[in-house]
Amino acid sequence: MTLSPGHHRPRRLRTTPRLRRLVGETRLHPADLVLPLFVKEGLDAPRPISSMPGVVQHTEATLADAVRDAARAGIGGVMLFGIPAHRDATGSQADAEDGILQRAIRLARDVVREVETAGTRGGAAPVVMADTCLDEFTDHGHCGVLVPGRDQDGTVVVDNDATLERYASMAVAQARAGADVVAPSGMMDGQVGVIREALDAAGYSDVGILAYSAKYASAFYGPFREAVDSALQGDRRTYQMDAGNAREGLREADLDLAEGADLVMVKPAGSYLDVLAAVAEMSPVPVAAYQVSGEYAMIEAAAANGWIDRRGAVTESVLGIKRAGADVILTYWATEIAGWLRDETFGGTR
């Protein structure tokens, strides 16, 4: 049987790598990518995170190297997480001037200055972002301070409004250390508005807010717990969202926009692509998505077993997030992907 002349043949555009490259609808660019980095106070050598092969807890020195590599690869930003040596009920190290996260921010900004001085030889200087949340700093591992002596059906109660004061102070400490963007990830009501007011009052009206708007209580954060030596017992279901709720994710994004978010985020990415697409549809500001630790671990584990092609699966997973509408993608593969993109541009296509 032959097709009649004029019959549609979509395969024609897939004939050669050259054609496929020309008509590609979605392209990744290094500038789309943000690398999350962990730095731990008091380490003398980087410590591997067993559930995230290839990712480490950095020392302050190796953190600077990682930011330098990220710049050389041309990625858009870094997202810093600090693990303090001392934890307490209110997370006092979170806003301490010499707290580990503030030190990390200053180091990252030093690298930015170094790269900008070196010009194109140093690569592209990344935007320095910091996680604005208490869970790494509290001895109970929750994202906020607790209501003393109270629990609800056996779960501790996180005090929304008392936590807001801590976030405001933390955001100002991060801005003072040199953060370009602060990223409240604790899902407290009103966090974006309170942080905006505090930053403006302290003279940091140019520091931006990346709001973790639709953040779901997810099993895919599992390996992150190891990455930050989390002290958490129980879960975060009284503040993070239930997996089935899409409308609620849109409402959260709406509220963050009204409070002045400069970017909004959906997290995790892979299991929430519909929410991401819906937020991208309504958002007047850039939309970020976080490919989280568990998404990373799953692909690494399957690839290590020889069950999937690592590079193919990594690329496809990130491309899917971009296709769904993300302008900015946080991924632990950011620097590596940026290297592949450079090879593909100048070394042919796959």
- Residues noted as catalytic: 215, 267
Q: HEC states along the chain? A: CCCCCCCCCHHHHHCCHHHHHHCCCCCCCHHHEEEEEEEECCCCCCEECCCCCCCEEECHHHHHHHHHHHHHHCCCEEEEEEECCCCECCCHHHCCCCCHHHHHHHHHHHHHHHHHHHHHHHCCCCEEEEEECCCCCECCCCCCCEEEEEEECCEEEECHHHHHHHHHHHHHHHHHHCCCEEEECCCCCCHHHHHHHHHHHCCCCCCEEEEEEEEECCHHHHHHHHHCCCCCCCCCCCCCECCCCCHHHHHHHHHHHHCCCCEEEEECCHHHHHHHHHHHHHCCCCEEEECCHHHHHHHHHHHHCCCCCHHHHHHHHHHHHHHCCCCEEECCCHHHHHHHHHHHHHHCCC
CB 267 within 8 A of CB 279: no
The nearer residue to ligand PBG, 17 or 234, going by C-beta atoms, is 234
Q: How far is the CB of 346 from ligand PBG (least distance, A)?
A: 31
Interacting residue ranges for ligand PBG, rule: CB under 6 A: 131, 133, 135, 185, 221, 224, 236, 292-293
Q: Which is nearer to ligand PBG, 24 or 48 (CB)?
A: 48
- Residue number with CB closer to ligand PBG (36 or 126): 36
Instruction: Retrieve residue 153's tokens.
Output: 């059906």
Measured from the CB atom, the residue of 125 and 263 that comes closer to ligand PBG is: 263
Task: Check: CB of residue 232 under 8 Å from CB of residue 142.
Answer: yes
Residues paired with 223 in a beta bridge? none
Q: 170-193 as b/e, with b when 16 or more CB fall inside 10 Å?
A: bbbbbbbbbbbbbbbbbbbeebbb
For residue 293, the minimal CB distance to ligand PBG (Å) is 3
Q: Are 38 and 81 in contact (CB under 8 A)?
A: yes
Residue closer to ligand PBG, measured from CB, 52 or 341: 52
